[in-house]
Structure 1
Amino acid sequence: MARSHPYNFTHVLLPQLAWRRPSSVRRELSDPYLARELLLYVWEKAAEGLAPAEKVVAKGLRTTWHEVAGRATALFHLPPPQSTMEAYYSALVYEGDDDPETEEVRPRYFTLEAALGLSSAAGTPTMIGEWSGELHRHLGRGPAGGQPETHLAFLETLALVLGPLPDKGVPYMRVVRS
């Protein structure tokens, strides 16, 4: 069973915040100082109401930015999981650009979660998940967890899930009545 503190952070508060204020959260995460402050604030909020013994230290909590299948992606490095449903990493994938004139599009939110299974020299079993509002889908097995390159393998897997960006320059047919 997942510990409440990391679960609340990864599966509840972080995605809700990003979906409520997509462009402002993206801007804050793009600034290293603001990103750190935001993550620590949300981490503390995730522990509210928990007994001191249930609180987890934010060791390793940070954000890095990547381009995944042509999309800006904020990758969250999380404290190491200790049970299933706790995540090694999560990611906000922004489909649109950061232009304030365009309509705000909710980012997609993915997790690389610890899964049941035996650990091996290659790492521990994981599962790729995606949250969409209240719906949590498992997309299949993920790359082995707990390895130095796990985050890169997670991003590569996300690129396969996302596929290429649609080509906006392709003409479309329009029927015109004469």
Structure 2
Amino acid sequence: MPASTANKVLFGLTNVYYAVATEGENGVFTYGAPVRIPGATEMSTDPAGESTSFFADNQVYYEAEANQGYEGTFNFAKLPTSFYVDVLGQKLVNGGLFENSNAKSKRIALLFEIDGDVQADRFVYYNVSVSRPGTASKTKEDSTEVNTVELNFKATPRPDGAIKWVTGADTPKEIYDAFYTQVTEPTEVPAG
């Protein structure tokens, strides 16, 4: 696409999905079908990793940066029961969610989009672990304040080094349109 059709600004958050990841014996990840998490209200990420400086000859002689992915939070109106079962390993018992200390969380791919002035940018983080969300609420006063659920996550590199992929102005229409039907793997991956 010509530069004039590329986004100038990004805003908003919508279409958050998770796909349960399975790591094969050879370190290759496969993913289940993406499942929507409705009610996303906010998200933020920060880069994870450190920068190291080596000094020689009275100056910085070598600089190295470790890219360990991202750490972040998502806020939702409410997480669906499927997320607690599929990802956090909780069980449905007597119509409610039962949490056991022996439950094992699963890795997921996390998909979402941030709208733009031309077209939404669609993101996928490939190797995500999430923390169990807490519960918070307060009494209802003169007006109703809606509670949200905060989900902390870490998006770390897969064994092949892949962390995330974001659509762009030149993403083929068929890849863009099928983004939420399966976890998209770039067809051309440059050498690290």
Q: TM-score, normalised on structure 2?
A: 0.29
- Ranked by relative contact order (alpha carbons within 8 Å, sequence separation 6 or more), the top structure is 2
Greater gyration radius:
2
- Structure with greater proportional strand content: 2
- Structure with greater proportional helix content: 1
Q: TM-score, normalised on structure 1?
A: 0.31
